[in-house]
Amino acid sequence: MTYDFDRIIERQGTNSTKWDRCTALFGREDVLPMWVADMDFACPEPVLRAIKERTDHPTYGYSFPPASLYESIMAWYQERYGWKLNEEWILFTAGVVNALYTAVEAFSEVGDQIIIQSPVYPPFFSTIRNLGRHVLNNQLLEGENGYRMDWDDLEKKLSGHNVPLMILCSPHNPVGRVWSKEELSRLAQLCLDHNCLLISDEIHCDLLLWDNQHIATSTLSSEVEERTITLGAASKTFNLAGLATSYVIIPDDELRKRFVRWRAGDNQGNMFGYIAMEAAYSQGGDYLKQLMSYLEGNMRFFADSLAERLPQLRMSLPDATYLAWVDMRELGLSARQLTQLLCNEARLGLNAGEMFGPGGEGFQRFNLGCPRRVIAEAVSRLEGALQRF
Ligand SMILES: Cc1ncc(COP(=O)(O)O)c(C=O)c1O
């Protein structure tokens, strides 16, 4: 079927984190929310149908992930990433951040240093710190052609600190990079050389723009596969985050047993999450194809609008995700002034760059997973605010 991504769906009043928490977060109700990473599009039709069918049944007792769900995940990874999974490698978790907490607890000790690469998804910092570990930041480098890894710094940090874990974001939120095979191989080899386990958060891996190809870290070699914990979900791809169901893939038996010992309960997630994920992976290919084509249009539209109407703001087209990382440093404003301008003058609810750690200052993250008309409205609001400013 043909999906209508232009359709405006009223989300206010649905207990939506993105739409119904504006006053609490931005101090006013009338901001246009383009922050947290969920999309304003309807989920794929097969997902809606499968959930409706299940709600017709009058009992909602305990439920477990069926064999057909494992098969749908395995087929998805085989077909898209050439990764042949074994069923027992897949463990269900109640969200990717939840899985990250378990992995950090299972594979490191209080007081350990854990490497991440800022600017990066804020819960990477908070998970490490809340669990009494320390962030060892291998900040990304900003160059003419986008972001790249700082290899000298990474090697120094891995060799000097006895680091048990590194958390990789692949593709990278917020900078939108799809890491190349060369980059991933170099990083994975450094981790192997220094006996550092790799947690590869690949939640955005299906959201590939412009024919980019995602390399699942574990497919680099069997050695890397044994030392990598992959975090995955259908939640970003198909807009299912409220169903709080995701998975980890851990090929190594010992590591998997250890993860299971730390995980609260048997399989996590829930019946609606399982049903939605299976329908999405087994019947959602067509939706994803149309979605990516629409998102490419959104990215181009936004980038072109900024270039024409707001040339002080800079944005490079990302390789993946529906997130635009916009450089506002040329405005010369402090973080507080920028927030004041965006929130109170432009009336936009965005993610401020500082949230993503060092390297994020002066940037804002825009969520473009919305009808194009909403992006046009955001550009007009920005333009008006900057003219007044
Ligand atoms: C890199 C990354 N990991 C994890 C998550 C959140 O996953 P979950 O909602 O399953 O905890 C996000 C959401 O934006 C993300 O960008």
Out of 169, 179, 236, 325, mutate this one to test ligand 1's pocket (max ligand atoms within 8 Å of CB): namely 236
Out of 92, 97, 237, mutate this one to test ligand 1's pocket (max ligand atoms within 8 Å of CB): namely 97
Cβ(70)–Cβ(281) below 8 Å: no
Topology of domain 17-44+285-388 in CATH is Aspartate Aminotransferase, domain 1 (3.90.1150)
Nearest to 256 by CA among 289, 280, 219, 227: 227
**AA identity, residue 215:** I
Question: If you measure from the C-alpha of residue 296 to the centroid of ligand 1, how many angstroms do you get, rounded to a whole number?
Answer: 21
**Whether the CB of 124 sits within 6 Å of ligand 1:** no
Taking the CA of residue 95 as reference, the ligand 1 atom at the shortest distance is 10
**Geometric angle at alpha carbon 212, from 148 and 278, rounded to 5°:** 115
Residue 265: per-residue pLDDT:
75
**Whether the CB of 305 sits within 6 Å of ligand 1:** no
Residue 266: per-residue pLDDT:
75
Question: If you measure from the C-alpha of residue 93 to the centroid of ligand 1, how many angstroms do you get, rounded to a whole number?
Answer: 12
Question: If you measure from the C-alpha of residue 97 to the centroid of ligand 1, how many angstroms do you get, rounded to a whole number?
Answer: 6
**Whether the CB of 167 sits within 6 Å of ligand 1:** no
- Where in the chain are all domains bearing CATH 3.40.640.10? 49-283
**The two three-digit tokens of residue 366, written as one number:** 């825009």
**The two three-digit tokens of residue 377, written as one number:** 């409205």
342 C-beta neighbours (distance < 10 Å), count: 22
What DSSP line would sit under 134-162, residue for residue?
Answer: EEEE-PPEEETTEEE--HHHHHHHHHHTT
Cβ(149)–Cβ(123) below 8 Å: no
Q: b/e string for 366-385 if b means 16 or more Cβ within 10 A?
A: bbbbbbeebbeebbebbeeb
Closest C-alpha residue for ligand 1 atom 14: 37
Q: How do residues 321-365 score in pLDDT, each as one tens digit?
A: 999 999 999 999 999 999 999 999 999 999 999 999 999 999 999
Question: If you measure from the C-alpha of residue 168 to the centroid of ligand 1, how many angstroms do you get, rounded to a whole number?
Answer: 13
**Whether the CB of 95 sits within 6 Å of ligand 1:** yes
Q: What is each CA distance from 186 to 141, 150, 189, 224, 226, in whole angstroms?
A: 16, 11, 5, 11, 16
- Where in the chain are all domains bearing CATH 3.90.1150.10? 17-44+285-388
Q: How do residues 97-147 score in pLDDT, each as one tens digit?
A: 999 999 999 999 999 999 999 999 999 999 999 999 999 999 999 988 899
Mean pLDDT of the chain: 97
Q: pTM of the prediction?
A: 0.97
Question: If you measure from the C-alpha of residue 331 to the centroid of ligand 1, how many angstroms do you get, rounded to a whole number?
Answer: 30
CATH architecture of 49-283: 3-Layer(aba) Sandwich (3.40)
**Whether the CB of 323 sits within 6 Å of ligand 1:** no
Q: How confident is the model at residue 267 (pLDDT cuts 50, 70, 90)?
A: confident
The answer on pLDDT for 201 being more than 90 is yes
**Whether the CB of 235 sits within 6 Å of ligand 1:** yes
From the CA atom positions of the chain, what is the Rg in Å?
21
Nearest to 6 by CA among 367, 380, 292, 372: 372
Mean pLDDT of 194-201: 98
